[in-house]
Each structure stands twice: as structure tokens, then as C-alpha cells.
């Protein structure tokens, strides 16, 4: 077994459970005979190049324990896209601190960072074990059944849509519609998860639109009108990455990030939720609301899934197990064994199969109209979301005359 120090970083957006994964890596690394010191990157790979490091091995026990129930990214994050001139500097820092174990917690762009650093070190005869820990609320990583962070963000969205739906139901004489926008640039996992807010047919949400399908304005307005006629109001959930047939974002955003991804939400200066709201108002002349949560649901510890917190921690410990074998270039994966009862196992996926790729929601997870979830998706989602509250509704009992 190679001996040396380990470094851990967090990249991309925060989640409710990313710090639980961090705690898992730290605690497992302390027990590893090959790892002599444990450092943390402040602000991801960008901070690492500037030697912004924290000694994680010397943190008080209560701090590490507290990470398991602390949202956001304790180490600070980065969205830096590596360029060729970065690699010699990264290698210099690795050598200076005798770092032989390189852990990053993040999504597909993060897995690409690990892969490229690991390859560069190998090509330059520096022994380094690079291991990825999955993290993204979008749930769009290949190689794993689901990602830590998704279940908690989904639960937060479900509760938002559930409560907003009750508000819309009771206020339908004032506002005829509500549009709720979820994050998810390329996939509709979070949007589709809000289907769990529905208990009976008339409950919100009524319509869900995801980036997996081309957005058709005419069909959308037809669906909306049908729901208003049937229920007296309509609850619409939309993923931020909706596009028209020609590839134009429904949000009308033209801004792009460092990875050439279209910027949605606030950074894109545009909103699909606002635009759908405008379409409904323009077509039917009725009042309505739109609701956009963006990063709020990404670190909502008050609604975090207990299962998610536990699985995130175990992904951290599993990463150290994989690294201890000396095998480099892998990401921890979760493999679902059964839905009922819910059982998973932990394995590994090649970074090359995960990096810079987005896993769409399978087509059979949608209904035939492509505007709601299928039963197959509900079976997949129910164990992840956890127990949901039950609300009541007044019975329409007429008084005696």
C-alpha cells in the first residue's frame, strides 16, 4: 500500500449532505494505515493550486461529527475548469505536501477533474490514487443508481409543491395557476420527483415538464386548460433546462459558464418559470404565481432525508476503501438491489464512464403524455424521499336549511 497524505475537496453546487460525505472520508482516512495526514482544499482545485489547505486530521471530534448534519460545502467550492497550464502547478503542490490520495466530492465535471489530474500524474511518474465521491442534487451521474444530495433536494421540492398546491387549491378564485421551477440543467429528476406531492387526482402537481422532451407551447397550453377545467386551477412544475425543438432555451437564456453549459436561473438572467407564467397569463388572462427556489433546496438541512445523510457518509467511507486497494480512476457507486424492501450495495464506476456526461431520466419513468411520472418512477423515488406529511381538506358539507 502506498503511504502518504490525502487531500479532499468539494466542487460544484452545495447539497444538504455533501459534508456528511466529507465526514465519512475523514473518519475512514484516520483509520487507514496508508494515509498519514488528511488535508482539505479550501475552494476546490482552485484553492489547492494556491495552497489553501486545512488540516482535517487535527479537527476536534465534535466538528467532524457536526459535519454530518451541516448543509452547504464546509470546505468551500469552486467551478474552475482546468486548463493545461494548471497541471504542472497541481503536481508541484501534490509533491510539496506528499499527497498520494486525491479525493473530490462532486458531479460529472468534478469527476473529469479527478480523471485529468490522475492521468497527468501517471504520465509524469508520480504515484497518485484519485477517487471520486458522487454528489449532485440533479441525480444525473452515470454509474450510480442515485447520487447523495438528490433525495434531500427532492424531498424539499416535494414539500414545497405539496404546500404550494394546497395554497393554490384554496386560492383558486384569485389565482388560477402556480408554476414551480426546479433546478436541473439537462435532466428532469428533481422536477419529476415532485409527483410524490400528489395523493389524489386533483392534488398538485398536475403537470410536470422536464428537459428530456422538447417543449411544445401549444400542447402545454392545451394541458393547462384541461387542468383548469377539471380542477379549477393548475399546478405546473418545470425543469429549468426546457428547450424548444430548435434547441433554444424556454428561459431565453444565452449566458454560458466556464464549462460551456447554458446558465439558467439568476446567472442566466432569465427564467423558464417566469416565461411559462407569462404564456398562461397571456393565453387565458388569469392571475397566477411562479416560484423559483434555486440553491435554497440544495442545502435545506431542515428537510434533509435521513437515508440520504447516511448514504452520503457511507459513500465517503467507501471511497477510502477503494483508494486503499491502490486502484485509481474510480468513483463510488450505489447499486440498487430491490425497491421493496429498499436495498442497495456500494461499488465503483470508472471515472471515464462518468465524467462530463449527464444521465437523463429514462423514458419509461414518464407517463405516455410525457407530462407526469409513471408508476415505475414512483417506485424508484418513494424510498428515497422518506415519509411525507398528510394534510387535510374540509368536507363540503352543506348546513341544514
Give me the active site residues, please: 138
Q: How far apart are CA 167 and CA 76, in angstroms?
A: 37
Angle at 165 between CA 164 and CA 170, to 5 degrees: 100
Q: How far apart are CA 323 and CA 333, in angstroms?
A: 14
Q: How far apart are CA 156 and CA 254, in angstroms?
A: 29
Pairing mode of beta strands 35-41, 343-350? unpaired
Does residue 205 have a cis peptide bond before it, meaning omega lies within 30 degrees of 0? Answer: yes
Which position has the grid cell 428533481?
190
Instruction: Give the C-alpha distances (Å, rounded to integers) separating 147 from 108, 156, 266.
Output: 11, 16, 25
- The DSSP 8-state label assigned to residue 367 in this structure reads -
> Sign of the C-alpha dihedral, residues 217, 222, 225, 226?
negative
Instruction: Give the C-alpha distances (Å, rounded to integers) separating 52 from 28, 67, 195.
Output: 23, 20, 43
- The DSSP 8-state label assigned to residue 293 in this structure reads -
Say if CB 34 and CB 324 are below 8 A apart.
Answer: yes
Say if CB 226 and CB 207 are below 8 A apart.
Answer: no
Which position has the grid cell 452545495?
14
Say which residues have a Cβ less than 8 Å from residue 109's Cβ, sequence separation at least 6. Answer: 11, 12, 79, 81, 259, 355, 356
Number of other residues whose CB lies within 10 A of the CB of residue 108: 25
Is residue 173 classed exposed, middle or buried when 0-12, 13-18 and 19+ CB atoms within 10 A define those classes?
Answer: exposed
Half-sphere exposure of 53 (CA within 13 A, CB side): 19
Instruction: Give the C-alpha distances (Å, rounded to integers) separating 394 from 35, 69, 169, 398.
Output: 61, 37, 12, 11
Amino acid at each position: 500500500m502506498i503511504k502518504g497524505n490525502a487531500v479532499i475537496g468539494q466542487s460544484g453546487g452545495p447539497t444538504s449532505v455533501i459534508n456528511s460525505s466529507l465526514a465519512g472520508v475523514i473518519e475512514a482516512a484516520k483509520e487507514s494505515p496508508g494515509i498519514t495526514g488528511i488535508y482539505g482544499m479550501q475552494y476546490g482545485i482552485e484553492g489547492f493550486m494556491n495552497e489553501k489547505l486545512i488540516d482535517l486530521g487535527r479537527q476536534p471530534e465534535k466538528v467532524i461529527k457536526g459535519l454530518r448534519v451541516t448543509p452547504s460545502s464546509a470546505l468551500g467550492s469552486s467551478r474552475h475548469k482546468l486548463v493545461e497550464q494548471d497541471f504542472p502547478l497541481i503536481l508541484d503542490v501534490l509533491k510539496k505536501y506528499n499527497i498520494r490520495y486525491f479525493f473530490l466530492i462532486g458531479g460529472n465535471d468534478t469527476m473529469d477533474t479527478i480523471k485529468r489530474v490522475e492521468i497527468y500524474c501517471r504520465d509524469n511518474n508520480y504515484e497518485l490514487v484519485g477517487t471520486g465521491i458522487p454528489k449532485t442534487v440533479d441525480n444525473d451521474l452515470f454509474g450510480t443508481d442515485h447520487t447523495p444530495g438528490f433525495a434531500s433536494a427532492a424531498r424539499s421540492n416535494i414539500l414545497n409543491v405539496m404546500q404550494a398546491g394546497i395554497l393554490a387549491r384554496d386560492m383558486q378564485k384569485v389565482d388560477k395557476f402556480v408554476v414551480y421551477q426546479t433546478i436541473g440543467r439537462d435532466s428532469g429528476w428533481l422536477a419529476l420527483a415532485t409527483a410524490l406531492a400528489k395523493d389524489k387526482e386533483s392534488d398538485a402537481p398536475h403537470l410536470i415538464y422536464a428537459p428530456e422532451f422538447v417543449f411544445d407551447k401549444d400542447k402545454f397550453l392545451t394541458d393547462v386548460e384541461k387542468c383548469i377545467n377539471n380542477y379549477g386551477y393548475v399546478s405546473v412544475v418545470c425543469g429549468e433546462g426546457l428547450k424548444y425543438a430548435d434547441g433554444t432555451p424556454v428561459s431565453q437564456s444565452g449566458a454560458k459558464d466556464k464549462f460551456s453549459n447554458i446558465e439558467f436561473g439568476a446567472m442566466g438572467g432569465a427564467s423558464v418559470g417566469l416565461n411559462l407564467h407569462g404564456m398562461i397569463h397571456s393565453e387565458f388572462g388569469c392571475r397566477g404565481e411562479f416560484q423559483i427556489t434555486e440553491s435554497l433546496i440544495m442545502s435545506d438541512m431542515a428537510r434533509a432525508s435521513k437515508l440520504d445523510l447516511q448514504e452520503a457518509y457511507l459513500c465517503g467511507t467507501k471511497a477510502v476503501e477503494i483508494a486503499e486497494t491502490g486502484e485509481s480512476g474510480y468513483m463510488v457507486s450505489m447499486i440498487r438491489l430491490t425497491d421493496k424492501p429498499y436495498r442497495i450495495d456500494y461499488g465503483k464506476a470508472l471515472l471515464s464512464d462518468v465524467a462530463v456526461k449527464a444521465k437523463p431520466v429514462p423514458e419509461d419513468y414518464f407517463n405516455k403524455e410525457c407530462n407526469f411520472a409513471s408508476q415505475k418512477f414512483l417506485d424508484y423515488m418513494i424510498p428515497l424521499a422518506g415519509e411525507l406529511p398528510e394534510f387535510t381538506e374540509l368536507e363540503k358539507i352543506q348546513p341544514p336549511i
